[in-house]
Structure 1
Amino acid sequence: MTDTPKTAMILAAGLGQRMRPITDSLPKPLIEVRGRAMLDTILDRLEEAGIEKVVVNLHYLGEMIESHLKGRGGPQIVFSKEEDLLETGGGVTKALPLLGAGPFLVLNGDVCWLDGLTPALQRLGAAWNEEEMDALLLLHPTCSAFGYEGLGDYFMDPAGRLRRRLERQIAPFIYAGIQILHPRLFEGAPAGSFSLNKLYDKAQEAERLWGLRHDGEWYHVGTPAELCAVEDALHHLAAFSGQR
């Protein structure tokens, strides 16, 4: 277990179309859950985990995100602005010069989770093994993912290697929107807009795609109705940002 990340990227460029009409005038990462923007909660967790530098990609209403983060003290925040929306894979590829030569965290800008006994970011860092891994994904059990109604994403063997579910299969784990990636995964990546799924499949073929089961809670925040359901589920918390 070597060279755990000190750099992270938050994917904040998306249109948030399913969250309309809220996102007609507000980028999705700035939507509040229990009184705090999801983006701020993510940055709080990264700061607690010792992350020193965070790259935030911008496209839709990016100036609002940039303005919102202007007064934040730590960690160091730099922006990767996209004239055209590059999706997850293209967005990270464009930001690689800002992320450095070592492994880095990548988080969805709308990921909403509660930690178990040990913070998820700490557990990912401890599980990272550069000799065996190009990607380490945090996974959550499909059956207990709050608000999720899909078929799952991955099967995981006892060692932690992942295999994507095939059509008509139901997988026991979903990707939870938090991961560690190594820059070598992006060697030969296509230009322009593309999904990180292409690179996950490449890593799977090389047996370098791994997973870690999340031991806390995970919430799907995709639509205004789901946002209300999550708020209701978290009603017992005085402030989501301060809880694990």
Structure 2
Amino acid sequence: MTDRLEKRAMILAAGLGTRLRPLTLSTPKPLVPVAGRPMIDYLIDLLKADGVDQVVVNVHHLADQMEAHLAPLTPWVSISDERDHLMDSGGGVVKAAHLLGKAPVLLLNADSFWLEPSDANDTNIARLWSAFDPDTMDMLMLTAEPSQSTGHEKAGGDFVMQANGRLSRYREGLADPLIYCGAMILHPRLLGDAPREPFSLNRFFDAAIAAGRLHGIRLKGHWLTVGTPEAIGAAEAVIADFSATR
């Protein structure tokens, strides 16, 4: 993308966080603290560092707490309200389309983030913006090797990457599996014919794979995902080690 296009991002934060119970019975998943900070604040820092112009956050579970936490960031952050009807990941993006504009948009999962290496020339988000080619891509994902990740419970990986950066689904036995880091650039043309009902972003993933338009780049740094209470301690240990070496 060029610098003249406004950068917009959406944090997918409306999930119920059932695997993080009992913590999420009283706290929305994005506000569960990791190393003393709500998870979503790590993403906010990454977006600020990249100079993103506008951020949309969808809310559903314990939405009042989410809005109160984000209120000091208004109008940089706006809310897509799903209190009445949880729309799932894909449906949530479609519902928020009027807030996202017509340029490619950065999507982030609220329950994962990454630690940037101190010697990197560009942030991972900047690398995503720079590498996205709307002529050949519908989506560009940030991916990590299993050795670069903490908290990922799925055996193997999510995708495999060809030499030209195209992604396809990982199948058992394939070499060099990659994990989706919960961060990608999506072209809004995908939203035009999408259903106005709950559905998963996997629908877009599979369509883009079939068209040869799902691509990826590799993470620089370490990726953390916090899906269970036990994963919090593992993430905090990585953050402590990372901080000690900076």
What is the TM-score when the length of structure 2 is the normalising length?
Answer: 0.90
Residue number in structure 1 paired with 2:193: 188
Which 4+ stretches in 1 moved above 6 angstroms? none
Q: 1:223 aligns with which of 211, 225, 228?
A: 228
Instruction: Quote the residue 1:77 is aligned against.
Output: 77
Aligned counterpart in structure 1 of residue 240 of structure 2, from 235, 238, 242: 235
- 2:184 counterpart (179, 198, 208): 179
TM, length-normalised to structure 1: 0.91
Provide the rounded CA distance (Å) in 1 between the counterparts of 2:238 and 2:147. 16
Residues 210 and 53 of structure 1: CA distance in aligned 2, closer, same or farther (over 3 Å): same
- Match of 1:78, SS state, is strand
1: CA distance, partners of 2:18 / 2:2: 39
In structure 2, runs of 5+ residues without a counterpart are none
TM-fit CA distance, 1:136: 0.4
Measure, in 2, the Cα distance between the counterparts of 1:165 and 1:236: 30
Asked if 1:20 corresponds to 2:21, the answer is yes
Paired residues of 1:143 and 1:172 also in contact (CA < 8 A): no
Match of 1:135 in 2: 139
Counterpart AA for 1:181: L
SS at match of 1:71: helix
1:59-82 deviations in Å (ceiling 9; x for gaps): 001110101111236x71111111
Which residue of 2 is the match for residue 93 of structure 1?
Answer: 94
How far off its partner does 1:47 sit? 1.4
Tell me the equivalent position of 1:162: 167
Letter paired with 2:140: L
Whole-angstrom CA distance in 1 between matches of 2:110 and 2:55: 12
Inter-CA distance 180–96: structure 2 relative to 1 (3 Å threshold): same
Gaps of 5+ in 1: none
**Amino acid of the residue matched to residue 203 of structure 2?**
K
Deviations 1:121-176 (A, max 9, x none): 1111111111111100100112432132313110100110011124x455610100
**Contact 1:2/1:129 (CA < 8 Å) preserved in 2?**
no
Q: What percent identity do the matched residue pairs reach? A: 45
Matches within 5 A, 1:49-60: 49-60=50-61
The amino acid of 1:77's aligned partner reads V
8 Å CA contact retained: 1:155, 1:164: yes
Deviation at 1:191, TM superposition (A): 2.7
Read off the aligned partner of 1:124 and give its amino acid letter.
Answer: L
- Coordinate RMSD, CA, aligned: 2.1
Cα deviation, residue 2, structure 1: 4.3
Tell me, in whole angstroms, the C-alpha distance in 2 between the residues paired with 1:187 and 1:42.
Answer: 27
- Work out the CA distance in 2 between the residues paired with 1:5 and 1:194: 27
Residue type of the alignment partner of 1:8: A
